[in-house]
Amino acid sequence: MKDFVQYVLYSHAFSGGIALLCGILAILTKKGSKNHTLSGEIYFYAMLSVVVTGLFVASFRGNLLLQTIAIFSFYMAFTGKRVLRNKKEVVRSWLDWGFNILSMLCGFFMLYLVAVNFGRIGFAGAMPILLIFGGLLTWMTVQDAVKMWKRKWVKNDWLYTHIGRMGGSFIATSTAFLLTNIHFEPAWIVWLAPTVIGSPIMAVAIGKWKVKLGDRKNKVQTAQV
């Protein structure tokens, strides 16, 4: 069994490397171009492999932190890809609802772990990671659930969501790469550094697109059912 887990771990590392390279390529190529679309597709399925193999290894080792972070990472890639269908209306299906609810429960669970352990260890260990990532996952899933339920959207919101979610997923991939290759204490600094650096970059990119498309003030529209 240990040999099999080791092979799965190799597959996990290989898929992570492919995701990292394709993510960089998608960022550097022109949005909407053939290269951007292809690299994005490969990135998504590489991330799917990363999550499946990561969940297996984390389950074998009993690592709840890695399991929750894997779900957090893939939720962003999943919604970043699915939102491309929402150029005209918010699409909802059993797959979208199912993964939304699963990920929402994961976000609640991450915050629960912080709450029950705060009195004992405070913000030591993985607590800052669970608090920030759990809070982000909960906020995203609740926001997505409201959109799907009300079937409302903002003009060009699909584009900004796509950039934010895929970018966030890439940040998670970069975080995993740094953790594998850099050993630094306290470890939570390595966990959060890509988020601190990458989030403002994504905000600037989205802001530029809003200026380009004239969407500084978006008007909420209701989808035609």
pLDDT tens-digit map of 29-62: 888 788 999 999 999 999 899 888 888 887 777 6
β-strand pairing of 152-154 with 220-222: antiparallel
Does 153 score more than 70 pLDDT?
no
Residues 76-98 as b/e (b if ≥16 CB within 10 A, e otherwise) read bbbbbbbbeebeebbebeeebee
**Average pLDDT taken over every residue of the chain:** 81
* CB count in 10 Å sphere of residue 41: 13
pLDDT band per the 50, 70, 90 thresholds, residue 225: very low
Mean pLDDT value of segment 77-94: 81
pLDDT tens-digit map of 57-80: 877 776 677 778 778 888 999 999
% of the chain beyond a pLDDT of 90: 20
pLDDT band per the 50, 70, 90 thresholds, residue 210: confident
Mean pLDDT value of segment 173-179: 75
pLDDT band per the 50, 70, 90 thresholds, residue 190: confident
**Scanning the structure block, which residue is given the tokens 């994504």?**
202
For the CA atoms of the chain, what is the radius of gyration?
Answer: 18
Of 116 and 216, the structure prediction assigns the larger pLDDT to 116
Does 217 score more than 70 pLDDT?
no
Does 127 score more than 50 pLDDT?
yes
